[in-house]
Structure 1
Amino acid sequence: MKDLICDEFQATVSQCLVRHKSIIDVLTKLQETVSRINRAIAKSVTLCGCVEVNAKKQQIPSDISLQELSAYMNTHLKGNLCPNCREVLEQELGNHLFYLAALCNLLDLNLYDVFVEENEKLSTLGIYSLS
């Protein structure tokens, strides 16, 4: 059974998308939402300071397996999003999901099916699917 939340979300997006119905509009709006997500995270670091980035070269032993790699990787993040930054980022991610669903609608793709297929691929191939 298909996930009703995804299907309902896609249907709602279809009804709400009035002004930016062109594939060109949707693609550029989708790209814009990625930029806004990046900007919201940057502001969390530079303006608010609730999150810090401490980036440096990853220290990875040469004799580990691919399965062990995750244990040696660092996110370079310190801290947690404050309630305000979390709210802004959730809003920006929501806008991104809106245009992602709009793109699926225009191309006659079902967002839930895309999720399921990607999950199956990840479950079957695991980290090997990411190369």
Structure 2
Amino acid sequence: MTGKNVDIAREYFQAVQKGDLARVGGLLDEEIVWHQPGANRFSGEHKGHDAVFAMLGGMMAASQGSFAIDAIHALMGNGDTVAASIHFAGRREGASMSMDGVDVLRLQDGKIVEMWLFSADQDAEDAFWGE
């Protein structure tokens, strides 16, 4: 089970990198619970496909389409949970961010049902996204 979950997580991150939102949507459970860290306009708990895609769309708009996971360093599984060490970046007029992060995914029946994100410099990420 752990190996299959790592494969699904890999597929998710590759779809995100390619901008394949249909595939991303297919890998997220309809009732996903997404825990976005920090104290910025996107922070908090987002429940369901619509809320998650609205948040991600807002991030793309705020970053002028530049927000991206540009590296997947490692994927590590433990039962129904996968941790991913990643690097992400974004830029907009007058600001940029580039940092490592850890995403923790909980999977059930081949779908991502819960996601927690961690940033190497949450204060810098909060400043980039704004309130």
Task: Point out which structure has higher relative CO (alpha carbons under 8 A, 6+ apart).
Answer: 1
More helix by share: 1
TM (normalized to structure 2)?
Answer: 0.24
More strand by share: 2
